[in-house]
Structure 1
Amino acid sequence: MKIQKKNELLQKRRWRVRKKVVGTSERPRLSLHLSNKHIYAQAINDESGTTVTFVSSLGKDVRSQNLKANNAGAAALGKLFGEKAKEAGVSKVVFDRNGRKYHGCVKTFAEAAREAGLDF
């Protein structure tokens, strides 16, 4: 399959999920992006268009741990994201998996965030 077609299908999946998932001030949207090397997650208030909190594997506090985009890295970042969200006053979120299946790193991240105290 050509790369352009793959990207089109991925974008369609993203749009399909985003039609149903909207972040509010009480319950922001937890958007997770996994690249080949890094993991990025942010809690977004779609009403005001602002980011409440974010974490990535490139952050200053995480960079020393040398986390990769694998299950171990997803678990560590999920736990860190849950803690940062609690500090920001967020206890409930809506999970946006960004067109990916709820499997592997996505599932590991979500479970670690739940263990840290976030309610999906």
Structure 2
Amino acid sequence: MKLNTTIRKRFRVSNKVKKVASKDRFRLCISRSAKNISAQIIDDVNKVTLLSASSVEKDIKSGEKVNKTELSKIVATKLAKKAQEKKITKIYFDRGIYRYHGRVKVFAETLRENGMEF
């Protein structure tokens, strides 16, 4: 089966992160679309999702209209608060097929400001 470029890129980035993964750190996987952004903190050892946050959730969507970069800041802040409640501070950032630019970069910087280490 021949894989297309985006699938190969996703495997390449995610597998590099999974190889260096350890038991004390979890993987933060990010996905974005044209309008929304979402992220999950995943435990690769037990293969389970620990936390997730998305811009499609009711409490975020019901607020005032904001642009997409502001939306990614709101989602990152919400995810960081959930992670602090579960005492998760060290993670690996899995950007997937997306370049570290724009909304993905703003998301990562907001997480760092809120106490996450990666």
Shorter-chain TM-score bucket reads 0.7 to 0.9
Question: Residues 25-64 of structure 1 correspond to what in structure 2 (within 5 A)?
Answer: 25-64=23-62
- Matches of 1:51 and 1:9 in 2, distance apart? 26
- Whether 1:9 and 2:12 are equivalent positions in the alignment is no
**1:12 is paired with a residue of what secondary structure?**
helix
1:29-52 deviation line (CA, Å, top 9, x unaligned):
000000112111000001111111
Select 2:101's aligned residue among 100, 103, 107.
Answer: 103
Alpha-carbon contact 1:10-1:99 (below 8 Å) kept: yes
Deviation at 1:67, TM superposition (A): 6.3
TM-score by length of 1: 0.86
Flag structure 2 segments of 5+ consecutive residues without an equivalent: none
Q: Secondary structure at the match of 2:29?
A: strand
Residues 35, 69 of structure 1: 8 Å contact kept = no
Aligned equivalents of 1:68 and 1:119: distance in 2? 27
CA deviation digits over 1:74-99, x for unaligned, max 9?
A: 11111111111111221000000011
| Distance in 2 (alpha carbons) for counterparts of 1:65 and 1:21 | 34
TM-score, with normalisation over the residues of structure 2?
0.87
CA distance in 1, matches of 2:65, 2:30: 16
Alignment identity in percent? 35
One-letter code aligned to 2:76? G
Question: Would you say the 8 A contact 1:78–1:113 is kept in 2?
Answer: yes
How far 1:71 moved relative to its partner? 1.0
Structure 1 residue 108 displacement after superposition:
0.3
Change (3 A) 1:69 1:101: farther
Aligned residues: 114
Partner Cα separation in structure 2 for residue 27 and residue 61 of structure 1: 29
Unaligned runs of 5+ in 1: 1-6
